[in-house]
Amino acid sequence: MTTKLDPIAEFREDHRKVRDAVLTISEALRDKDVKKAREILGVLNELTGPHFRYEEENLYPALRKYLGEYVDSLYKEHDSVIQTAKVCAGLLAKDTLTDKESEDATNAAMQMLIHVSNCDGLAILSERFNSGEMDDLAKSFEKARAAGVTLLDWADTIRKQK
Ligand SMILES: [Fe+2]
Protein backbone atom coordinates (compact mmCIF):
# COMPACT_ATOMS: atom_id res chain seq x y z
CA MET A 1 0.00 0.00 0.00
CA THR A 2 1.29 3.41 -0.88
CA THR A 3 0.70 6.37 1.33
CA LYS A 4 -0.34 9.46 -0.49
CA LEU A 5 1.74 12.52 0.20
CA ASP A 6 0.27 15.41 2.15
CA PRO A 7 0.17 18.16 -0.47
CA ILE A 8 0.26 21.04 1.99
CA ALA A 9 3.01 19.61 4.18
CA GLU A 10 5.13 18.80 1.13
CA PHE A 11 4.44 22.18 -0.42
CA ARG A 12 5.65 23.93 2.71
CA GLU A 13 8.59 21.58 3.15
CA ASP A 14 9.75 22.45 -0.38
CA HIS A 15 9.58 26.12 0.57
CA ARG A 16 11.77 25.53 3.60
CA LYS A 17 14.32 23.78 1.43
CA VAL A 18 14.26 26.58 -1.13
CA ARG A 19 14.53 29.21 1.61
CA ASP A 20 17.57 27.51 3.11
CA ALA A 21 19.19 26.93 -0.29
CA VAL A 22 18.72 30.56 -1.32
CA LEU A 23 20.20 31.78 1.97
CA THR A 24 23.15 29.45 1.51
CA ILE A 25 23.68 30.80 -2.02
CA SER A 26 23.77 34.34 -0.61
CA GLU A 27 26.34 33.29 1.98
CA ALA A 28 28.45 31.52 -0.64
CA LEU A 29 28.37 34.65 -2.81
CA ARG A 30 29.46 36.76 0.14
CA ASP A 31 32.38 34.35 0.64
CA LYS A 32 33.14 34.52 -3.12
CA ASP A 33 32.54 30.76 -3.35
CA VAL A 34 30.96 30.67 -6.81
CA LYS A 35 31.37 26.92 -7.13
CA LYS A 36 29.30 26.28 -4.03
CA ALA A 37 26.65 28.80 -5.10
CA ARG A 38 26.45 27.10 -8.50
CA GLU A 39 26.07 23.64 -6.96
CA ILE A 40 23.24 24.77 -4.74
CA LEU A 41 21.53 26.51 -7.63
CA GLY A 42 21.66 23.17 -9.45
CA VAL A 43 19.90 21.47 -6.53
CA LEU A 44 17.31 24.26 -6.52
CA ASN A 45 16.72 23.80 -10.23
CA GLU A 46 15.85 20.14 -9.60
CA LEU A 47 13.70 20.84 -6.57
CA THR A 48 11.70 23.73 -7.98
CA GLY A 49 10.95 22.17 -11.38
CA PRO A 50 8.29 19.73 -10.10
CA HIS A 51 7.09 22.28 -7.53
CA PHE A 52 6.44 25.03 -10.10
CA ARG A 53 4.91 22.54 -12.48
CA TYR A 54 2.52 21.26 -9.83
CA GLU A 55 1.57 24.80 -8.91
CA GLU A 56 0.83 25.90 -12.45
CA GLU A 57 -0.86 22.74 -13.66
CA ASN A 58 -2.86 21.86 -10.54
CA LEU A 59 -2.65 24.11 -7.50
CA TYR A 60 -3.21 27.46 -9.22
CA PRO A 61 -6.26 26.27 -11.18
CA ALA A 62 -7.67 24.85 -7.93
CA LEU A 63 -7.06 28.15 -6.11
CA ARG A 64 -9.10 30.07 -8.64
CA LYS A 65 -12.25 29.41 -6.62
CA TYR A 66 -10.80 31.45 -3.77
CA LEU A 67 -8.60 33.94 -5.61
CA GLY A 68 -10.34 34.48 -8.96
CA GLU A 69 -8.33 36.57 -11.40
CA TYR A 70 -5.55 37.09 -8.90
CA VAL A 71 -4.35 33.63 -9.93
CA ASP A 72 -3.25 35.16 -13.26
CA SER A 73 -0.70 37.25 -11.38
CA LEU A 74 0.72 34.10 -9.79
CA TYR A 75 1.64 32.82 -13.25
CA LYS A 76 3.20 36.19 -14.05
CA GLU A 77 5.18 36.04 -10.83
CA HIS A 78 6.54 32.70 -11.98
CA ASP A 79 7.58 34.31 -15.31
CA SER A 80 9.75 36.73 -13.40
CA VAL A 81 11.16 34.12 -11.00
CA ILE A 82 12.14 31.96 -13.98
CA GLN A 83 13.82 34.97 -15.60
CA THR A 84 15.65 35.69 -12.37
CA ALA A 85 16.76 32.06 -12.07
CA LYS A 86 18.15 32.26 -15.60
CA VAL A 87 20.08 35.43 -14.81
CA CYS A 88 21.43 33.80 -11.67
CA ALA A 89 22.45 30.62 -13.54
CA GLY A 90 24.14 32.74 -16.22
CA LEU A 91 26.16 34.64 -13.64
CA LEU A 92 27.09 31.55 -11.65
CA ALA A 93 28.31 29.77 -14.79
CA LYS A 94 31.45 31.89 -14.48
CA ASP A 95 34.29 30.85 -12.20
CA THR A 96 34.83 34.27 -10.71
CA LEU A 97 32.45 37.16 -10.39
CA THR A 98 33.10 40.89 -10.38
CA ASP A 99 31.66 42.78 -7.40
CA LYS A 100 28.82 43.96 -9.63
CA GLU A 101 28.04 40.44 -10.86
CA SER A 102 28.13 39.15 -7.33
CA GLU A 103 25.73 41.88 -6.26
CA ASP A 104 23.40 41.03 -9.18
CA ALA A 105 23.42 37.35 -8.24
CA THR A 106 22.72 38.21 -4.60
CA ASN A 107 19.79 40.39 -5.67
CA ALA A 108 18.49 37.57 -7.85
CA ALA A 109 18.68 35.24 -4.85
CA MET A 110 16.71 37.75 -2.79
CA GLN A 111 13.97 37.88 -5.45
CA MET A 112 13.64 34.12 -5.10
CA LEU A 113 13.43 34.46 -1.34
CA ILE A 114 10.61 36.98 -1.66
CA HIS A 115 8.78 34.61 -3.97
CA VAL A 116 9.11 31.73 -1.49
CA SER A 117 7.69 33.90 1.23
CA ASN A 118 4.70 34.91 -0.94
CA CYS A 119 4.10 31.40 -2.21
CA ASP A 120 3.94 29.90 1.26
CA GLY A 121 0.93 32.11 1.98
CA LEU A 122 -1.09 29.98 -0.46
CA ALA A 123 -0.93 27.14 2.06
CA ILE A 124 -3.40 28.91 4.34
CA LEU A 125 -6.01 28.83 1.56
CA SER A 126 -5.12 25.32 0.45
CA GLU A 127 -6.13 24.06 3.87
CA ARG A 128 -9.74 24.69 2.87
CA PHE A 129 -9.77 22.22 -0.03
CA ASN A 130 -12.07 19.26 0.51
CA SER A 131 -10.69 15.74 0.70
CA GLY A 132 -11.40 14.98 -2.97
CA GLU A 133 -9.55 18.13 -4.06
CA MET A 134 -6.76 17.32 -1.65
CA ASP A 135 -6.43 13.81 -3.13
CA ASP A 136 -6.21 15.25 -6.64
CA LEU A 137 -3.49 17.64 -5.52
CA ALA A 138 -1.56 14.86 -3.81
CA LYS A 139 -1.67 12.77 -6.98
CA SER A 140 -0.55 15.58 -9.23
CA PHE A 141 2.24 16.63 -6.88
CA GLU A 142 3.48 13.04 -6.91
CA LYS A 143 3.24 12.94 -10.68
CA ALA A 144 5.23 16.15 -11.13
CA ARG A 145 7.92 14.83 -8.80
CA ALA A 146 8.07 11.47 -10.55
CA ALA A 147 8.53 13.25 -13.91
CA GLY A 148 11.40 15.17 -12.29
CA VAL A 149 11.87 17.89 -14.92
CA THR A 150 14.13 20.71 -13.71
CA LEU A 151 12.80 24.26 -13.53
CA LEU A 152 14.74 25.65 -16.46
CA ASP A 153 14.11 22.61 -18.68
CA TRP A 154 10.42 22.71 -17.89
CA ALA A 155 10.26 26.48 -18.47
CA ASP A 156 11.85 26.13 -21.91
CA THR A 157 9.85 23.12 -23.05
CA ILE A 158 6.65 21.84 -21.40
CA ARG A 159 5.63 25.21 -20.00
CA LYS A 160 5.98 26.92 -23.38
CA GLN A 161 3.74 24.37 -25.07
CA LYS A 162 0.82 25.26 -22.82
FE1 LIG B 1 5.70 27.43 -4.17
Q: Which helix (H) or strand (E) holds 44?
A: helix 34-54
Residue 10 CA to ligand 1 center (angstroms) comes to: 10
Report CA(30)–ligand 1 centroid distance (Å): 26
Ligand 1 centroid to residue 15 C-alpha, Å: 6
Query: Residue 12, SS3?
Result: helix
Q: Could you tell me if 60 and 75 are in contact, meaning their C-beta atoms sit under 8 angstroms apart?
A: yes
Distance 96 CA to ligand 1 centre (A): 31
- Rounded to the nearest angstrom, the distance between the alpha carbon of 124 and the centre of ligand 1 is 13
Distance 148 CA to ligand 1 centre (A): 16
Measuring CA to CA, how many Å separate 63 from each of 9, 82, 101, 152, 156? 17, 21, 37, 24, 25
Q: What is the CATH number of domain 7-152?
A: 1.20.120.520
Instruction: Provide the terminal-to-terminal Cα distance of the chain, rounded to the nearest Å.
Output: 34
In total, the chain counts a number of residues equal to: 162
Phi-psi region of 129 (alpha: psi -120 to 50; beta: other; left: phi over 0): beta
Q: Where are the domains of the chain?
A: 7-152
List per-residue pLDDT tens for the chain, 162 residues long. 466 899 999 999 999 999 999 999 999 999 999 999 999 999 999 999 999 999 999 999 999 999 999 999 999 999 999 999 999 999 999 999 999 999 999 999 999 999 999 999 999 999 999 999 999 999 999 999 999 999 999 999 999 987
